[in-house]
Amino acid sequence: MTSSFLSFEDKGYKDFISRLKQENEKLNAFNFIDENDKSGKIISVKDNICVKGMPATASSKILQGYIPGFNATVIERLEKAGFSVIGKTNMDEFGFGSFGLNSEHYARNPFNEEYITGGSSSGSAVATALIKGHVSIAESTGGSISAPASFCGVVGLTPTYGVISRYGLIDYASSLDKIGFMGKSVDNIREVMEKTIGGDPKDTTSLSVTISNKKPNKLYVIDNLMTGVNEVIKDRFEDLLAKLSAKGYKIEHTKIDYLEYSVPAYYIISMSEASTNLAKYQGFKYGFKVKDFSLNYNEFFMSARKQFGKEAKRRVILGTFIRSKSITQRYYEKALAIRHALIARMDKILKEGFIIMPSMPIFTPKISEVKDISPVEAYSMDMLTVPPNLCGFPHMSFPYFYEKGMPIGAQIITNHFNDYSLLDFLSEWESDFKYKFKEEIS
């Protein structure tokens, strides 16, 4: 499905904003909407990516009032290419969540407001679904693009780790965070990605490499990843495989050792890095300020960090425990070894073909069904999205079926630096499959 960007060279921006604000009151897609006149192609940006002059809160009370005086590299490059940022999208606090419910005013699913959006890039998925010809700049650590893209029926592309500069991103886990894109059209996503890739001296993890498009005709299904998937999702996925087989793809089943350890390894690494990255929020430099300087050291910092939400506190505490001297060898170093082993095993398969799987193991649940589940149950929902994120492989979620009016997404993975092959695959898929969206704002 080819789509052009919504542009305001000769359209009424204020009328568009008025209608967008009305929808936002119901769906909470945006934390901030810029009402100043815009020209050019419009994009939205996840609220943990810095845009000069706009709030950057990462949906956390501790960053309320923080307005960066600089652009993230990805924003700087897009603005030079003629794009305009219309606002900052809602998210799980600091990116901590799979369902999109870890923020004060969580986003709601555009297909049905009683259902979750998925996280952590929840608002980006909703904004993409709402706005005609739109791309939202999002971010993924362990599935934060694929999960909401799947639950909200849009396309979510997570590039190879390092090909998009992370400068200006509010960190969750530095060795895992990847800036990516959500859209409804392969052409739009491709255009944005082409404008943003490339090395950046401001980010030591960014890479200046050639991105290839070697599209194989083989699709691998990882059988030991499918064991925890809902049976009806499995049936729908088999239907998808049959369609792809009819298009000429060869389907092969295989197994990858150690995959059962990918989720615990991911959370050990990500929580350890999160506890380090969040240490800078001390109540006097960014956002929330502690004004009582008569407090002693512990009281001062505790009064600031009370602003963290429940999930943020949980991850900081667990991450600090994992990094303690007596524990780090037992957990953290083993988690790094598992990541290294998984990269080698997945790389071997990805040299021969794509890996394909459902994006999420369950149907989109209602908010009431997941609001009180345990953290361990919530973390287990990342079983399909964690492996490519843990290993830095590019991957993409795309809608392929609608069950009782709600979308279902599949996820396709390719080898490092072969990102454009995913877009070529999507281009083929879009030529046959008709996406369903709610009435779009234009």
Q: pLDDT at residue 9 above 80? A: no
Q: pLDDT at residue 1 above 70? A: no
- Reported as a single tens digit per residue, the pLDDT across 126-157 is 999 999 999 999 999 999 999 999 999 999 99
User: How many CA atoms within 13 Å lie on the side-chain side of 202?
Assistant: 13
Nearest Cα residue to 63 out of 31, 85, 40, 87:
31
The mean pLDDT of 410-433, rounded to a whole number, is: 95
User: How many CA atoms within 13 Å lie on the side-chain side of 348?
Assistant: 9
Checking 316-319 for CB contacts under 8 A at 24+ apart, the result is 316/274, 316/275, 316/278, 317/275, 318/271, 318/275, 319/271, 319/272, 319/273, 319/274, 319/275, 319/276
The rounded distance, in Å, linking the Cα atoms of 138 and 158 is 9
Distance of CA 251 to the CA centre of its chain: 28
Instruction: Point out the catalytic residue in the list 84, 98, 120, 165.
Output: 120
DSSP 45: E
Q: Which residues have C-beta within 8 Å of that of residue 171, sequence separation ≥ 6?
A: 177, 273, 277
The rounded distance, in Å, linking the Cα atoms of 159 and 418 is 9
Nearest Cα residue to 27 out of 38, 36, 19:
19
User: What b/e sequence results for 62-79 when a residue is b if at least 16 CB atoms lie within 10 Å of its CB, and e otherwise?
Assistant: bbeebebeebbbbbbbbb
Q: pLDDT at residue 14 above 50? A: yes
Q: What is the DSSP string of 410-427?
A: EEEE--TT-HHHHHHHHH
Global confidence as pTM? 0.96
- 320, with CB counted inside 10 A (0-12, 13-18, 19+), is middle
The rounded distance, in Å, linking the Cα atoms of 205 and 176 is 11
Q: pLDDT at residue 2 above 80? A: no
Domain boundaries, the chain: 1-442
Active site residue 120: yes
Confidence at 439, pLDDT banded by 50, 70, 90: low
Mean pLDDT across the chain: 94
pLDDT of residue 61: 95
Query: Given the DSSP bridges, would you call strands 218-222 and 250-254 parallel, antiparallel or unpaired?
Result: parallel
Count of positions (residues) in the chain:
442
* Secondary structure string (H, E, C) spanning 350-386: HCCCEEEEECCCCCCCEHHHHCCCCHHHHHHCCCCCH
Nearest Cα residue to 298 out of 309, 285, 283:
283
* Sheet bearing 406-413, strands edge to edge: 30-33, 83-89, 41-46, 135-140, 178-183, 155-158, 395-403, 406-413, 354-358, 218-222, 250-254
The rounded distance, in Å, linking the Cα atoms of 124 and 49 is 12
pLDDT of residue 438: 66
Choose which CATH entry (3.90.1300.10, 3.40.630.30, 3.30.450.370, 1.20.950.20) describes domain 1-442: 3.90.1300.10
Instruction: Point out the catalytic residue in the list 46, 88, 178, 184.
Output: 46
Active site residue 243: no
The rounded distance, in Å, linking the Cα atoms of 271 and 263 is 12
Instruction: Point out the catalytic residue in the list 136, 144, 146, 270.
Output: 144
- Reported as a single tens digit per residue, the pLDDT across 79-116 is 999 999 999 999 999 999 999 999 989 999 999 999 99
Nearest Cα residue to 265 out of 173, 180, 179, 347:
173
- Reported as a single tens digit per residue, the pLDDT across 209-251 is 999 999 999 999 999 999 999 999 999 999 999 999 999 999 9
Q: pLDDT at residue 3 above 60? A: no
User: What b/e sequence results for 414-440 when a residue is b if at least 16 CB atoms lie within 10 Å of its CB, and e otherwise?
Assistant: bbbbbbbbbbebbbebbeebebebbee
In degrees rounded to 5, what are phi and psi of residue 398?
-140, 145
Cis peptide before 122 (omega within 30 of 0): no
DSSP 249: P
**Minimum mean pLDDT among 19-23, 176-180, 430-434: which range?**
430-434
Bridge-partner residues for 164, per DSSP? Answer: 197
Q: pLDDT at residue 317 above 70? A: yes
Task: Name the amino acid, one letter, at 38.
Answer: K
Q: Is the separation of the CB atoms in 16 and 441 below 8 Å?
A: yes
- Reported as a single tens digit per residue, the pLDDT across 180-220 is 999 998 999 999 999 999 999 999 999 999 999 999 999 99
The mean pLDDT of 267-275, rounded to a whole number, is: 97
| Matching residue, tokens 């994006």 | 359
- Reported as a single tens digit per residue, the pLDDT across 29-44 is 999 999 998 888 999 9
The mean pLDDT of 148-169, rounded to a whole number, is: 98
- Reported as a single tens digit per residue, the pLDDT across 367-414 is 999 988 999 999 999 999 999 999 999 999 999 999 999 999 999 999
Q: Which residues have C-beta within 8 Å of that of residue 326, sequence separation ≥ 6?
A: none
